[in-house]
A and B are shown apart, each in its own frame.
Chain A
C-alpha cells in the first residue's frame, strides 16, 4: 500500500564546524560567515521517508520554511530522491519561534493535502529545541512518536516503531496519521544521485534568481536598484517557467496563515539577551610531560585536597 510522507527540513548554519574564518577577533562566532547546510537529523528524516517509499511505494514531499536561499536545500532533497520539494518563504515568517514556525508548517501541510506520515529530524543544530515536531503534530491534531530509530513494521494504518528512551529503547504500535521525529543514529542518509543532480540542478525560484543578480552587481561594487534587478531577472525567470524548472514557492497567503500567529508577532518567546561565549584561555599552568613535572602536579593536588 503506498504512503504519502511529508518531510520537514531546515537549512541551518553549520554550527558543528566552527573554523577560524567564522571566528571574529573578539573570540565570538560570526554566524553570517557559516555555510548553510541541510540540518543533519532532517537528512535522517528524509532517508526514513525514502526508505518507506522504497519498501511500500508512495510519495515523498519535502517542505522547508526559510529564506530564498533555502532553495539549495530543496534541490538537495530532489537530488536524493524526494518527489516534490516546497519552499515556504515570506518576510512575515521572520523571527518566528517554534510555536509560530509549527503554525506556519501546519498551514502548509493542510494545503499539501492528505498524508500518512509527517517526518522531521529530532532537532535542528542551531536552535537545539526539538520542539517544532511535537508542536506541529499538536496543531495537526495527530499523535507523535519522537526519537524514532527504526520503523519495524508498516501494515495498513498500523505502524510499529523502535524508539530511544532514557537508558534504553522501546517498541510501540501506533495508528496513522502520525508525526515522527528521527534521531541522528537512525540510518545512513543516501547521497545525491548523479542522474537527479543533472535533472534538478537548474531548478530555482524567482526570488533566488533576483538574489543572485543582486549579489553579482554588489560584488562589482555597485548597489543595484530594484528595477534594475527585476529587469535583469525577468528573462531568466521566464526561461525557468518555460522550461518547467521552477521550485514550488508558497508564502503566508498561499497557505492561508493568520498574520497574528506567524513570525515575531506569533511568537510568545522573546530573546532578551545574547551573549557570545568568548573562548579565552584561563590561567593555565603548563606542566612538563616528565616524571618531575607530574610529581609536582600530583603533590599540589593532594595538598589542595583535590585527590586523597
Chain B
C-alpha cells in the first residue's frame, strides 16, 4: 500500500468538515514525521470527502486514506474501527494520533485493544526521544514520548511504548497549534476499502442534536472568567459588561456551570476548554487543579478573590484580594477613562 513507519493521524469529520483537533494533530504529525524523516498520512471516514482530503494534504499529509461510504456518514464504533484497523494493518505506521474528543476516546482504545498496542490518553505534549529499559536493559531510539497529566492533574507523566507498534496517543483540542495550510503541497489520496461485516452496522443512530457553541473560548485573546464567587446567573452580567468593554469573552469554572449560573459552553478547565489567551481574568474562582489545567498557560493572569489563600493566586501574575462586585466596576471605569 504505502511506506511503512509513517506517522498517521485519524481525522474526525462532521458533515465533511475536519475537526479542529484533527487539523492540529496533522500539523503536529508533520513536525514529528519530519523529525523522524518519515511520511505523514491520515485516515478519514465519511461521505464526499475529496475537498477534506485536499485540505489535509495542504496541512501536511503525504497520503490520505479515504473511506467513503454512506454508512460511514456519522460516527459509529464498529464500522470506523473496521476501517481504521484495516488501514493501520496494511500501512503499518509507527505512530497513530487521535483527537481526544468523545469520538477519539471511543475509537482509539477499541483499536489499540484489537492491535494489542499501547495507547496513552489526553496527551498534552508529544516529543521524540530515546529510552533505556530501567536496570540498564535494552536501548530504544526515537520513541514517541507521550506526555500527560494524571492523578487529577497533580502529576505529569511521560509514557513510552518501547515494544509494541503502532505507538498510539490521543491529544486534547487546543493543545497543539494549527499552522497555516500550503495549497501548493502535493499528496496522494488513496481509497480505503474495509471488509465490513453485517454486525458492524447493527447500531442505529435515531436522533442527533448538536448546538453550535455560543462562545469561542479558544480563539479569544481575552477571557473574563467567573466562578462560584459570582453568586448567581444575574451577577454574571458584571463579567459580560467587563468582557464587552475590553473586547473579551466570558468563561466560567465548572462550579459556576454546575450551579446553573452560565451554560457549559463557557466552561474552562480539564473537562471544559483549554485556553491560552493574552489575558485571563479569574473572578471569584478558587483555582482548583482542574480549572488551572485549562488556563494556567495564559500569558497574563489576573485573579480577583476575597480569599487571599485561594490557590488561583498560585498561578496569577496579578492578585487582587477583594470583592469582584466592587473590583469589576473599578476595572471598567479605569479602562474607559484610560
The chain A residues found within 8 Å of chain B, CB to CB, are 13, 15-16, 18, 28-29, 31, 97-99, 102, 125-135, 137-139, 143-147, 160, 164-175, 267-277, 279-291, 293-295, 297-299, 301-302, 304, 306-308
Name the B residues within 8 Å of A279 (CB-CB): 311, 314
Is A165's CB under 8 angstroms from B154's CB?
no
Is B118 interfacial (CB 8 A cutoff)? yes
Is B161's CB under 8 angstroms from A268's CB?
yes
Contacting residues of chain B (147-186) with chain A, CB-CB under 8 angstroms: 149-164
Is A273's CB under 8 angstroms from B105's CB?
no
Tell me the nearest residue of chain B to A289, going by C-beta.
Answer: B322
The CA of A180 and the CA of B299, in the complex, are separated in Å by: 41
Q: Is the interface of A mostly helix, strand, loop or mixed?
A: mixed
Name the B residues within 8 Å of A295 (CB-CB): 330, 334
Is B114's CB under 8 angstroms from A138's CB?
yes
Is A135's CB under 8 angstroms from B113's CB?
yes
Name the A residues within 8 Å of B222 (CB-CB): 307
Is A168's CB under 8 angstroms from B110's CB?
no
Name the B residues within 8 Å of A269 (CB-CB): 118-120, 146, 159-161
Interface residue from B108, B150, B302 paired with A126 (Cβ < 8 Å): B150
Contacting residues of chain B (78-123) with chain A, CB-CB under 8 angstroms: 78, 101-103, 105-106, 108-110, 112-114, 116-122
The CA of A29 and the CA of B151, in the complex, are separated in Å by: 9
Q: A168-B209, A285-B317, A291-B333 are in contact. Are A99 and B152 (CB under 8 A)?
A: no
Tell me the nearest residue of chain A to B335, going by C-beta.
Answer: A298
Is B331 interfacial (CB 8 A cutoff)? yes
Which of B112, B120, B299, B326 neighbours the largest number of chain A CB atoms within 10 Å of its CB? B112
The CA of A177 and the CA of B213, in the complex, are separated in Å by: 35
Interface residue from B120, B160, B315, B326 paired with A289 (Cβ < 8 Å): B326
Is B156's CB under 8 angstroms from A275's CB?
yes
Is A307's CB under 8 angstroms from B279's CB?
yes
| Least distance between A169 CB and chain B CB atoms (Å) | 6
Q: A29-B151, A130-B105, A165-B210 are in contact. Are A175 and B202 (CB under 8 A)?
A: yes
Name the B residues within 8 Å of A97 (CB-CB): 118
Is B212 interfacial (CB 8 A cutoff)? yes
B 266-279 to A, binary, CB cutoff 8 A, 1 in contact else 0:
00000000000011
Q: List 12 contacting pairs A-B, 8 Å CB cutoff, sorted by A.
A: A13-B151, A98-B119, A128-B122, A135-B113, A269-B160, A270-B162, A284-B317, A289-B326, A297-B318, A297-B320, A297-B331, A306-B279
